[in-house]
Amino acid sequence: MSKIPFVKAHGLGNDFILIDWRDADRPFPLDRVVPLCDRRFGIGADGILLVLPGETEAFRMRIYNSDGSLAEMCGNGIRCFALYLNRYLGVTSENVTIETDAGPLSCHFDDPESPEQFTINMGRAYLARADIPMAGTGDPFEQTVEAGGRELVGHGVGMGNPHFILFGDWSRSDVDRLGPELMQHALFPRRTNVEFAQMQSAEEIDLTVYERGCGVTMACGTGASATAVAAVRTGLSAPNTDIAVNLPGGTLTIRVEEDYSSVWMTGPAVVVYEGAVEL
């Protein structure tokens, strides 16, 4: 093992360990993901973001959840990744394209000289079951499920990773009780992120997300994006309008294009500290 530099960063409290693995002469030791993310015995994080060389772009982001599972995409993570590129790898252009397992995504530095706020094109919202992925037939919206001894109605949306959005008046106990069951529901072959959303107005949504792979988090960028998509598609919100999505860690601004071809997310990223760890 050798000492490898890392950076701890967060987007609205959704925190990550970032490691540049481009020049490594061996695969990343996956058995270290869970110990490193442990908040008592490790660095502590919701996940690890590896900086890898891209195939067509300069950089690729690979995401491991705190339970060791691989994630296709992470909205808060990609903002932290963009901040890392700017601060540590000298990327100073206003726009950079980052490869992810959900496809290439465009990141805009709102101010490259002081990169604390980012606008990300999260790409297309997927509304077909096969693309989410979600079992069954027909429209993935207005899907009835049984969970916690209740009949619930939710909406399936793909943002490169799967989401199931429920609108209502939710307590934290609802999230803790229903989240784990819905996350691994048979409808979702790859499990799913679960969004508990409460409409405050057409332009404002309160949201708590039970994330696949790490449970309740302070914020979830893909979850906020998927929830805004669901609000637009159900007529609760309008397309091409800024929607404030309030999460436990703060607020993201989401804009959904009318044809769902692009979903834009704006929010902050912050470096917490730097260090080195034996890997």
Q: What is the SS3 assignment for 147-182? A: ECCEEEEEEEEECCCEEEEEECCCCHHHHHHHHHHH
Rounded to 5 degrees, what are φ and ψ at 244?
Answer: -85, 120
For the chain, the helix, strand and coil percentages under 3-state DSSP, each to the nearest 5: 20, 40, 40
**What amino acid positions are annotated as catalytic residues?**
74, 220
Spatial CA neighbour of 75 closest among 268, 278, 232, 238: 268
User: Is 45 in contact with 11 (CB distance < 8 Å)?
Assistant: no
Residue 218 one-letter amino acid: M
Q: End-to-end distance of the chain based on CA atoms, in angstroms?
A: 5
C-alpha span between 24 and 5 (Å, rounded): 12
